[in-house]
Structure 1
Amino acid sequence: MSLDVQTLPSDVINLIAAGEVIDSFAAVVRELVENSLDAGATRIVISLYPNLWRVQVADNGTGMSSPDLQLCAKAHTTSKIRSTEDLRKITTLGFRGEALHSLAQVADLEIASRWASDPDAPGWQVVYNRQGEPDKIETIAIAPGTIVTVANLFGSLPVRRQGLPPLAQQLKAVQGLIQQIALCNPSITWQVRQDEKPWFNISSGKSAQQILPQILKPIKIGDLHSLNLEVEAPRNSKSQIELVLGLPDRCHRRKPDWVKVAVNGRMVRSPELEQTILSAFSRTLPRDRFPVCFAHLTVCPSQIDWNRHPAKAEIYLHSMEFWQERVVGAIERAMQLSSANLPATVHNRRIGQLIKAAEAKTNYQIDSPSKILATQSSPETESKPQPNGNPNLKPKHQISLMELRAVAQVNKTYIVAEHSSGVWIVEQHIAHERILYEQLQDDWKLVPLQTPIVLSQLTSAQVEQLQRLGLRVEPFGEQLWAIRNAPEMLSKRDDCADGLLELSLGGDLQAAQVATACRSAIRNGMPLSLSEMQTLLDRWKSTRNPRTCPHGRPIYLSLEEASLARFFRRHWVIGKSHGI
C-alpha cells in the first residue's frame, strides 16, 4: 500500500497560485508541520538549529512508502488533490504539491519515513538533489511516521540569507506559528527543541480552551469560556463555530493581538471578522483594553477559496455577512450568565486590577430607587437582546439564564444574591448602569423639553458637540444657549442641565449613552428593598453583556460552593476536626 503520490495534470497546475514561499525558518516549519497534520500525526517534535540553518520535523503520522518518497519532492506532486474539482473541496492544510520541491531547491533535503499501515514494511531514507529527485536511497530502522530534515537553508543563496530578519526575530515567528497551529489542532502534542535543548512544549487537550492558557501564561482556564455552536450555513451545509473568549471581567490585553480567526484548521487573517469581534466586545472592557478571543469556523470547503495567498494566510470566505452575524451571536451567548458557562473555580484575584484599569466615576445627584426602577422597567423600554443595537443580528440560540435570588444588601452598595452553586455579590450601581446602557443602545430617543434648559459659557466646540448628538441648540443671549430637546432618560431628571453639560464635553453617541446611563443609575449608598433588589437582578442577568459595566468594571464577585467548601474545610470528617 502507498499514498499514491502523483504528478498533477497541467490544467490543475495552471489554476494553482505559483511559487510556494520559503523565505524563513517559520515558512519551513509551517510547510512541514502542515504535512504532518495532514498525515494524521498526534505528536510532532520540531528541532531547530538556527546557527546551522537546519530544521527537523518528526511526526508519528501515516508515513510514506518507498515509491512515494522517491516522487514526493518533485514539482507539483501531491496525494491530496487530483483534478480541478478537488480545488473546490479542499480539506487538507497542504494541497499545492510545491512545498517539498521548493525546500529541495533552497536547502539540503532528506526524508526518512515508514508506512504505518504495513507493520512489516521497512523504513526508508531518501536524500534529494536540487530538482527534488532522489540522490540516495537506503533502508533504515525507524518507527512509523516521518522525519524531514532541512539543512544548509539558503546556503546556495547567500543574498537571501543576508536579507532575512535577525535569527531571534525569526525564532519568535516560529514560536508564534506553532502556537497558532496548536490552537487550531488541540489534540496534538508538541515538543520544540533548540540546539538539542528543550525550548517549549504544548500538551494536547480536548479543545482550544485548554491550549490557550499554555500560550498566554497569565491566563487561567477559569478566565475563559468555550462554546461550540452548530450552524445552518448557506446552501444547507452543516457548519460549526468554536469560540474561546476571555471573560471581560477577568482578562484583557493592552493590544488587539489576541483576536484570532481560524477557518477549517488554519489561522487566517480576516479583517472583517476580527473587527466584528472587537465591536462585539465594545463597552465591556476598560478603556484602551482589548479582548482575548479565538473564533474557529468549520465551513463547507466549497465556501472557501484558499488560492489567494502563497502561505494560505488569507482566504476568500463566501457569505461574509452571514458569518459576521453568527460570530456576534456566539459571543453574545457566551457572555450570558448561565450555569453552563460558569467555570467551577473563579479567579477573583484580578478584580482589583480590573477596577484600577477602569475609568474613574463621578458622584451624581440621585432619585429614589423605587422611582428609578419603576420608570425604567416598562415593557416599551426594556432592553432587548440585539447585539450592538442592530435588530438584524439576533442570536440564533437562546439559553436558560441562571436563577438569582436577592437575600440582602450590604453597606447600601452590594446586593447579596443566592444561586444554585454559591453566592454572588453584585454592585448595584454598575449593574443598573449596564441595564440602562443597553436600553439606550436599543432605544436612544431625543424628546422636546417643555421648558428649554439654558446653559452658559459654552465654547463653540461644546455647541458643535451637542449638535452632533442631535440636540437643538439656539443662542439665547450673550454667552447663553437654549437647549430645546434632550435624551428621554435625562429629560426626567432634576440634574438634566448638568447631564447636558457633561455631554457637551466630547465623545461619540456611544460615550453619550454611557454617560447618560451612569448618571441615571441607582447610586451606591441608597437602600433597596428585597423586591427592588430582585427586580434589578432579574433585569441585569438578562442583559447582553452582564459581566462588566460599560466602563469595563466587573459587576459581580462570585463565591462558588466549591470554593466555600474548601475554605471552611467541609470535606474534613468530624473525628479529624476534633483531633481524634
Structure 2
Amino acid sequence: MSDIIQLLPDSVANQIAAGEVIQRPASVVKELVENAIDAGANQIKINLKDAGRTLIQVTDNGKGMSPSDARLAFERHATSKIKSASDLFSIRTMGFRGEALASIAAVADVELRTKQEGDELGTRLHIVASEVKSQEADNCPEGSNFSIKNLFFNVPARRKFLKANSTELKHIITEIQRVALANPELSFSLIHNDSVIYDLPSENQRKRIVNIFGKNINQSLVPVQTDTTIIRISGYIGQPRFARKTMGEQFFFVNGRFMRHPYYHKAVLRAYEKILPPETVPAYFLYFEVDPGTIDINIHPTKTEVKFEDERSAWHIIHACIREALGKFSVMPSIEFDQAGAIDIPIAPTPGTLIPEPEIQVNPAYNPFEEEKKAPVNPFQQSPNWTKDPNLKSWDKLYQGFERTNDIPDTEEEIFSDETEEVNQQPSQRSFNEETENGQLNHNFLQVKNKYIISPVKSGLMVIDQRRAHERVLFEHFMAVLEKNPGISQRQLFPPRLELHAADAEVLDSILDELKKLGFEIRKADEQAFFVEGVPSMLSHLDARELVEKLLEDVKNRPVDVKEEIKTNLAQALARASAINYGSVLKTEEISELFDSLFACKTPNYSPTGKKIITIISLEEFEKLLK
C-alpha cells in the first residue's frame, strides 16, 4: 500500500494559517498597525475602501526594511522579535509570531513599499496569493506602506460570509480604538472612502479617551492608580450613573497590549456591586504593568488572551483599587473656600499670646415662672417673619361650610352603612366577575407590582407581562409602517444634538434610511454629530435624545445584512427602546387599550424576541395552593 501522508504546499499552509489569524478586514488592520508600532513609528495612517474589501492601506514613518528583510518578512515564522524559546517569556512587542504577513499575502493582493533611514532608494514588493510577482527598487519615503487589495479574492467562501460594510467598518474602528487607547503618545488617522473618521494627535490618556468616545464621557471619568509588587494599575473608570446597558467602553491593557479577561471583568463588576443601575455595565479603561515573565500571551493567534501567573492576587488588587477610587469619588466632598458663608478657620496664635475665654450670652430678663403665655422669641435675634400684632380678623370664616345639616350621620352605624353603599355603587375594578348583564366577557384588570396585569378567564387567571405586551404591539406597528406606508413624524421644537463616537456614528448613519420610513427625521451635522428633528408621532411623548440612544444601544451589537432582517431587527430594537418600563402605573383605560391591542396582534403570546407574554393560572393550581 502506498504512502498517503504528504506535506502541504506553502501556499495551502498559509491559507490554513490565515483562517486563524486573518478572520476579517479588521484582523489585517490590527496586524499591520501593530507591526508599525513595533517598527518605532509615531505617525500611522489607515486608508480604507469599502470597509477593507477593496483596499486596506497602512502607512507609517517607522524604521522601514531592507530589500532582503522585505522579502523575508512574508515567509512563515519569520520575525525580528524573538530568537530563542526563552524570549517568549519576556515579550514586550506587539507581534512576534511571524504569521501575519504570510497569512495576509496568502489571501490578498499585497504591495509593500518600504525604505530604511539613510538609504537612497527603497523597495517595492508585489505578492499575490503567496506568489512573488515582482521586487524592485523604488523611490519612496522612509517607513513602510502596505496596500492590501481584494481581500479573500482566492477564498470565495470566506469573502462571501463577510458582513455588511457598516459591520466590517465597526470591527475595524474597534481595533483602532484598542491600539489608539494603548498608545496615546502616537498619532493615528483613519479614513474610510475619503471620509475622515479619526484624526488623533499625540496626547495623554484622558484626552485620548475623550477624543475617541466624545466629550460627554469626560465628566464621568474617575482616575484609578495603585502600585503593588504584583501589578501596577492606572487608568480611569466610569461613574455608576453613566453606566450603559451594552458593552463597548470596557478595556483592559497589559504592558501596552489590549486583552480580554472575563475573570477581571467580574472583579470590576463586583466593585460596583449595589451601586449600578440594573442591567448596566460601567465604562473602564485600565492599564496594567506587570513583569513580562509572569504572563503568557502566546495562547491564541490573535494575542488578545493573556494568562496571569497569580490571577487571584491580581483579582483582589483590581477589586480593591476600584473600590478605593469609587470611595474617594463618593465620600470625599470638594471644599470651595471662596464661597460666601464659608467656615472661618482662625490663624494659629503665636507662642505666648493670651487666648480669651469663651463668653456665654444670657438673657437677664427671662423669667421661667411668668404666667403669661408668650411666643418664644430669640432675645438676641428677632425673626423677620414675626409680627407683634397678628391679624385675627375673619377667623370665624375658617369654619364656613361645616355647619350641621340633616345629611350628616349621627351614629357610627350610619357612617359605616354609607361607606358600604358607596363602595358597592362604584364600578368594580377590584372584583373579578366575568359576566356582564348581557352575558358578554367583562374585562376586569388588576395591576400587580406595576409589572403584571391580571384578568379573569373561564379557566382561572390570565397573567400578562405589561412590558413584553407593549413590545409586541409596537413591534407589529413598526413592521407594518416599514412594509407599507411611511411613518408620520412629530417635529421637535428644539432638536437635540447627539454627539457620538465614530463606531456609533457609523451605525446610526447606516440605518438613517430605515429610520426615516418609521417617522424619524435625523439630520447629520458633521461626521459624529446628529440633530434629531423629528420622531414618530406615536412616540412623541418620549425624550427624543434618550429614544435614539436606546435604539443605538440595541442595534449596534446586532448587525445583519439581509434587508428584511434589517427591518425586523430595527423594529425590535425600536419596540424595546420605546416600550413602557416595569414600574409604570397604568390607568384602567390604558390597561384596557393595551389588552385589546395585544389580542389584535398576529402573535400575542410571545414578545418579538420569543419570550412569553401570557400565562394562565388554572383553578386547579389555586386549589392545590389552598390545600
CA contact (8 A) 1:259 1:277 kept: no
- For residues 464-543 of structure 1, what are the structure 2 equivalents within 5 Å? none
Q: Does 1:272 align with 2:273?
A: no
Paired position in structure 2 for 1:247: 239
Q: Deviations over 1:3-25 (max 9, x none)?
A: xxxxxxxxxx9xxx997421211
Paired position in structure 1 for 2:154: 156
SS at match of 1:32: helix
CA distance in 1, matches of 2:178, 2:128: 32
CA contact (8 A) 1:45 1:191 kept: yes
Q: Tell me: CA distance 1:195–1:257, structure 2 relative to 1, closer, same or farther (3 Å).
A: closer
Q: How many residues in Structure 1 have an aligned counterpart in Structure 2?
A: 330
Q: Does 1:318 align with 2:309?
A: yes
- Structure 2 residue aligned with 1:171, among 169, 191, 198? 169
Paired position in structure 1 for 2:433: none
CA distance in 2, matches of 1:206, 1:148: 28
Paired position in structure 2 for 1:195: 193
Q: Using the TM superposition, give the Cα deviation of residue 141 of structure 1 relative to its aligned residue in structure 2, in angstroms.
A: 2.5
- Structure 2 residue aligned with 1:291, among 272, 276, 282? 282
CA distance in 2, matches of 1:418, 1:67: 75
Q: Using the TM superposition, give the Cα deviation of residue 295 of structure 1 relative to its aligned residue in structure 2, in angstroms.
A: 1.2
Give the greater-gyration-radius structure (CA): 2
Q: Using the TM superposition, give the Cα deviation of residue 91 of structure 1 relative to its aligned residue in structure 2, in angstroms.
A: 0.9
CA distance in 2, matches of 1:217, 1:229: 27
- For residues 145-544 of structure 1, what are the structure 2 equivalents within 5 Å? 145-207=143-205, 209-217=206-214, 219-233=216-230, 239-248=231-240, 251-337=242-328
Q: Using the TM superposition, give the Cα deviation of residue 27 of structure 1 relative to its aligned residue in structure 2, in angstroms.
A: 0.6
Q: Tell me: CA distance 1:166–1:417, structure 2 relative to 1, closer, same or farther (3 Å).
A: farther
CA distance in 2, matches of 1:101, 1:166: 26
User: In structure 2, what residue type is equivalent to 1:123?
Assistant: G
SS at match of 2:188: strand
SS at match of 1:126: strand
- For residues 63-102 of structure 1, what are the structure 2 equivalents within 5 Å? 63-102=64-103
Q: Deviations over 1:532-553 (max 9, x none)?
A: xxxxxxxxxxxxxxxxxxxxxx
Paired position in structure 2 for 1:21: 21
- For residues 5-84 of structure 1, what are the structure 2 equivalents within 5 Å? 20-50=20-50, 53-84=54-85
Structure with the higher fraction of residues in strand conformation: 1
Q: Using the TM superposition, give the Cα deviation of residue 121 of structure 1 relative to its aligned residue in structure 2, in angstroms.
A: 4.0
CA distance in 1, matches of 2:286, 2:207: 15
- Structure 2, unaligned stretches of length 5 or more? 1-12, 346-627
CA contact (8 A) 2:234 2:287 kept: yes
- Structure 1, unaligned stretches of length 5 or more? 1-12, 234-238, 343-384, 386-400, 410-415, 421-580
Q: Using the TM superposition, give the Cα deviation of residue 129 of structure 1 relative to its aligned residue in structure 2, in angstroms.
A: 4.3
Q: Tell me: CA distance 1:257–1:129, structure 2 relative to 1, closer, same or farther (3 Å).
A: closer
Q: Tell me: CA distance 1:130–1:278, structure 2 relative to 1, closer, same or farther (3 Å).
A: same
Q: Using the TM superposition, give the Cα deviation of residue 217 of structure 1 relative to its aligned residue in structure 2, in angstroms.
A: 1.9
User: In structure 2, what residue type is equivalent to 1:102?
Assistant: S
TM-score, length-scaled by structure 2: 0.49
SS at match of 1:77: coil
SS at match of 1:155: coil
Q: Tell me: CA distance 1:285–1:121, structure 2 relative to 1, closer, same or farther (3 Å).
A: same
CA distance in 2, matches of 1:248, 1:69: 50
CA contact (8 A) 1:20 1:99 kept: no
Paired position in structure 2 for 1:137: 135
CA contact (8 A) 1:405 1:418 kept: no
Q: Tell me: CA distance 1:202–1:408, structure 2 relative to 1, closer, same or farther (3 Å).
A: closer
Q: Using the TM superposition, give the Cα deviation of residue 68 of structure 1 relative to its aligned residue in structure 2, in angstroms.
A: 0.8
CA distance in 2, matches of 1:247, 1:312: 30
Q: Deviations over 1:38-92 (max 9, x none)?
A: 1121111101112752211001112111221121101110100111111111111
Paired position in structure 2 for 1:397: none
CA contact (8 A) 2:59 2:145 kept: yes
CA distance in 2, matches of 1:77, 1:260: 30
Q: Using the TM superposition, give the Cα deviation of residue 256 of structure 1 relative to its aligned residue in structure 2, in angstroms.
A: 4.2
CA distance in 1, matches of 2:139, 2:343: 64
Q: Tell me: CA distance 1:69–1:285, structure 2 relative to 1, closer, same or farther (3 Å).
A: same
SS at match of 2:137: strand
Q: Using the TM superposition, give the Cα deviation of residue 404 of structure 1 relative to its aligned residue in structure 2, in angstroms.
A: 5.5
Q: Using the TM superposition, give the Cα deviation of residue 225 of structure 1 relative to its aligned residue in structure 2, in angstroms.
A: 2.7
SS at match of 1:172: helix
CA contact (8 A) 1:19 1:98 kept: no
CA distance in 2, matches of 1:221, 1:419: 34
CA contact (8 A) 1:74 1:131 kept: no
TM-score, length-scaled by structure 1: 0.52
